[in-house]
Amino acid sequence: MSFAHPTARTTPAETKLVICVWHPFTEWRPKPLLAESIRARYPEMRVLHLPGYDTLRQELPDTHIFVGYSLRA
C-alpha cells in the first residue's frame, strides 16, 4: 500500500500537544494532572493545558496533537 503523501512521525522532542476542553460542567474538563502526567511520561514533549479558548488560535498553527471537545470560530 502506498500513500500519496507519506506522513513522517515526529519525535517527542519535536512534538507539541495542546489540551483545550471547556465545558459548562466542570467535571468534563480535563484536570491539569492530565498534562502533568503526559509531561512525566514524555518530558521532552511540549504539552500545553489551556483552560479556555483565549489563546488557542495562536497555539494551533504549530500544534501536532490537539486534544479537545470543539473548535470555536
Does 59 or 1 have the greater pLDDT score? 59
Q: What is the pTM of this model?
A: 0.82
* Cα end-to-end distance, the chain, whole Å: 37
> What average pLDDT does range 15-28 have in this prediction?
94
Where along the chain do its domains lie?
Answer: 12-68
Is the pLDDT at 15 greater than 80? The verdict is yes
Which residue bears the cell 494551533? 60
Is the pLDDT at 58 greater than 60? The verdict is yes
Is the pLDDT at 10 greater than 80? The verdict is yes
In angstroms, rounded to a whole number, what is the distance separating the alpha carbons of residues 9 and 13?
11
Confidence of residue 42 (pLDDT cuts 50, 70, 90): very high
